[in-house]
A = this chain, B = another copy of it.
């Protein structure tokens, strides 16, 4: 629930709020302000004043004890510096180093807090490993934030520059990369704020940026000096020297920063403590936040402290949770009085949305179809399956009310899975806790969970399915639904069948997995086809939707299946919607079908139009478990408009099918014109 601490204890001292100007920090002019504030600041390990017996920093007495009171009531600010803001609409640059699944999630929360308060255009410079880049590229692409630009830098390329420093932790190497940022970022980038991923903002980052502007002369001056001194040589030399005397363990970025600064104290100026409020044991931090009414940023570097007791930890925790659970869609807002360019896709989308007719009875459907959902792929750590020519990934989508299915599904399907979850930001955190609490789920590394963030009133089922499908990494996919449990043997059996049938090379086929259902929540799952048939005969199991909608699966020909020893081919028919195994490059689901109805039917129709053979597998089966009907099915049943809109979508789909597949698609129109069609 709460963020984990940095693996290294000395992380506690490092708020990486680096104010860089070509990697340069404030000069010594501000020294008095820092001391007066008793403040955490930038490099407190090296720079924080020592605390004498009375617990107060030396030389700070007068200012700390007796803050200058202003009869006009203006003594509120804890900041000696005036607080100008940067010129209106100035682009602010922020750099973040991130690697792996966990850190990618942290970055999202940090960025949300940044965006909530910001009023300026932002340029994010993300130094990322392959995992984080994959996740964050998708995320920002689908987030479509106005006035936010994102650039990626390959962390792997920077590794050689720091990998010579002995390092205990995987993440430590990424920490060290902050040392080489000045060289890695574009040479024309003059200033950047470097942030650790475990920071939460409580105010506008422009106020922090303003510390550049206000002292710009000073900073440029020091930059020149630093350039003369040569930062790169400086830190490398220091690191090498430190390594000579250290007991050969490892050196973290903070150690090196501290060591360099120790040797060159004039290089650094700490920030006012409100920009680096830490949950540490240091009296310094507490002094800071007790006296400051205005906390600017919180640094989550002391995990133990999150378990409250300390009443101020509550504030920190609540601010963090605010952004952890904040609906990121609400941050897709333009800036006032500044140009807020969106990505071109977003601009076009806005125009299409603007053309929709709000009086159209199906307006909600149209709007939902066009909605671009934020997507956070591989929300949890995941190991891609090794490349195997006949491997198959189970693909499904779900929302919170089906989380209970996950453990059982994992027991039934040992192979890779790509699952898309339709969640709010807050639900994504509940989901995280759910997985962490489950031994079965935590143990699995080959299940990829992709979060599709909720937006709009209708369930965008096919868009969610397409996310799961696009993220499947094996050559074949088993297109399932979350409320089905496959036969225990199905994963092995499918791979064997794919191999035997020479699927990819010889034929274009969709392997049909016959579907059944039980009405019992507690159910002894059949371990063989023979057991299944016995249950079927006993009336404990039915063919799927036998009572409500038999035509959806009738073409599978259950009677033939009973006796079948080999795969057999069946013909498409109206409303056929079997569960199939197909190559990963199969057609996508049609995203126009939102809410209930026709979402799978249309997909199977398109497979047929592309001349996939439907081959029923004689030993394969999957069983539907009971669940509460979805809200969408209730709406479908109760609303004429809903049914009319679905009809309109069907008609449009069929027209598109005809347009795309020509005369061959006529059979669908003809078939649907039969009187028994729904």
A337 in the interface (beta carbon within 8 A): yes
Contact with B along A422-444 (1 / 0, CB 8 A): 00101000000110010000000
Chain B contacts of A330 at CB under 8 A?
318-319, 321-322
Chain B residue at minimal CB-CB distance from A404: B634
Task: Tell whether, in the assembled complex, residue B519 and residue A72 are in contact, meaning their CB atoms are under 8 Å apart.
Answer: no
Q: Is A262 in the interface zone, CB < 8 Å from B?
A: no
| CB pair A631 B90 closer than 8 Å | no
Task: Give the segment of A54-62, A174-182, A224-232, A285-293 that binds chain B.
Answer: A285-293
Among the stretches A95-103, A236-244, A305-313, A557-565, the one at the interface with B is A305-313
Known: A457-B433, A548-B522. A72 touches B84 (CB 8 A): yes
Q: How far is the CB of A188 from chain B (nearest CB, A)?
A: 20
Please determine whether B85 and A337 come into contact, CB atoms closer than 8 angstroms: no
Task: From B86, B404, B631, give the contact of A76 (CB < 8 A).
Answer: B86
A140 to B635, CA, bound (A): 36
Among the stretches A8-16, A490-498, A621-629, the one at the interface with B is A621-629
Contact of B87 with A76 in the complex, beta carbons under 8 Å: yes
Return the chain B residue nearest A322 by Cβ.
B330
Contact of A628 among B87, B290, B321, B628 (CB under 8 A): B628
| 1/0 contact string of A265-301 vs chain B (CB within 8 Å) | 0000000000000000000000001111111000000
| Residues of chain B with a CB closer than 8 A to A77's CB | 85
Please determine whether B86 and A295 come into contact, CB atoms closer than 8 angstroms.
no
Nearest to A353 among chain B residues (CB) is B308
Chain B nearest Cβ from A156, distance in angstroms: 37
A29 is an interface residue with CB less than 8 A from chain B = no
Q: A426-B426, A626-B521 are in contact. Are A312 and B327 (CB under 8 A)?
A: no
Q: Which of A62-111 contact B (CB under 8 A)?
A: 72-77, 84-88, 90
Closest to A354 in B: B309
* A292-349 residues at the B interface, CB under 8 angstroms: 292-295, 307, 309, 311-312, 314-315, 318-319, 321-322, 325-327, 330-338
With A87-B76, A291-B337, A426-B426 known to touch, is A628 a contact of B404 (CB < 8 Å)?
yes
Asked if A4 is at the interface (CB within 8 A of a chain B CB), the reply is: no
Which B-chain residue is minimally distant from A425 (CB atoms)?
Answer: B426
Interface residues on A, range: 35 or more
**Given A326-B322, A424-B426, A293 and B75 contact (CB-CB distance below 8 Å):** no
A403 at the interface (CB under 8 A from B): yes
Any B CB within 8 A of the CB of A547: yes
Q: Which residue of B lies closest to A311 (CB)?
A: B334
CB-CB under 8 A from A627, the residues of chain B are: 627-628
Give the complex CA separation of A434 and B90 in angstroms. Answer: 44
Residues in B whose Cβ lies below 8 Å from that of A437: 635
* A358 beta carbon closer than 8 Å to chain B: yes
A155 CB, min distance to chain B CBs, angstroms? 33
A629 and B625 CA atoms in complex are apart in Å by 11
Evaluate contact between A76 and B72: CB separation under 8 angstroms: no
B-chain residues with CB within 8 Å of residue A72 when the two chains form the complex? 84, 213-214
Which of A77, A88, A325, A520: most chain B CB closer than 10 A?
Answer: A88
Q: How far is the CA of A457 from the CA of B1 in the complex (A)?
A: 11
Chain B residues near A318 (CB, 8 Å)?
330-333
Q: Which residues from B are CB-within-8-Å of A336?
A: 289-290, 292-293, 295, 312, 315
Of residues 165 through 219 on chain A, the ones whose CB sits less than 8 Å from some CB of chain B are 206, 210, 213-214
Q: Is A119 an interface residue (CB 8 A)?
A: yes
Residue of B nearest to A340 (CB): B311
Interface residues of A in 243-272 (CB under 8 A from B): none
Contact: B315 with A333, CB < 8 Å?
yes
The answer to the question of A157 belonging to the interface, with a C-beta cut-off of 8 Å to chain B, is: no
**CB < 8 Å neighbour of A337 from B213, B290, B626:** B290
Chain B residues near A210 (CB, 8 Å)?
73
Q: Is the CB of A358 within 8 A of B307?
A: yes
With A and B bound together, what is the CA distance between A73 and B120 in angstroms?
13
Please encode chain A, from 383 to 421, with 1 for each CB lying within 8 Å of some chain B CB and 0 for all others. Answer: 000000000000000001111100100000000000000
Closest chain B CB from A576 CB (angstroms): 22
Contact (Cβ within 8 A) A521 B629: yes
CB closest residue in chain B, given A318: B330
A73: contacting residue among B84, B314, B457, B629, CB under 8 A: B84
By a CB distance below 8 angstroms, the chain B residues around A327 are 321-322, 325, 426
User: How far is it, in angstroms, between the C-alpha of A90 and the C-alpha of B293 when the chains are bound?
Assistant: 12
**Nearest CB on B from A212, distance (A):** 10
Least CB separation from A321: chain B residue: B330
From A213, which residue of chain B is reached at the shortest CB distance?
B73
B-side contacts of A86, CB under 8 Å: 73, 76
A625 to B, closest residue via Cβ: B628
Whether the pair A312, B334 counts as a contact (CB closer than 8 A) is yes
Complex-state Cα separation, A638 to B408, whole angstroms: 12
- Name A119's closest neighbour in chain B (CB-CB): B293
User: How far is A90 from B150 in the complex, measured between Cα atoms in Å?
Assistant: 43
Tell me, rounded to whole Å, the shortest Cβ–Cβ distance linking A195 to chain B: 22
Q: Could you say which of B292, B319, B334, B635 contacts A315, with CB atoms under 8 Å apart?
A: B334
Of all chain B residues, the one with the shortest Cβ separation from A76 is B85
Chain B residues near A321 (CB-CB < 8 A): 327, 330
Shortest A40–chain B CB gap in Å is 15
> Which residue of chain B has its CB nearest to the CB of A483?
B628
Is B519 within 8 A of A626, CB to CB? Answer: yes
**Residues of chain B within 8 A of A631, CB atoms compared:** 403-404, 434
Measured between C-beta atoms, what is the minimum distance from A296 to chain B in Å?
Answer: 12
Least Cβ–Cβ distance between A63 and chain B, in angstroms: 15
Chain A to chain B contacts (Cβ below 8 Å), 13 pairs? A73-B84, A74-B85, A75-B87, A76-B206, A290-B336, A293-B337, A307-B358, A318-B332, A318-B333, A404-B628, A407-B638, A433-B457, A519-B519
- Which 3 residue pairs across A and B have the least CB separation, nearest first? A73-B87, A76-B85, A318-B330
New contact pairs (5) apart from A295-B336, A319-B330, A437-B635, CB-CB < 8 Å: A76-B86, A119-B294, A318-B330, A407-B638, A627-B627
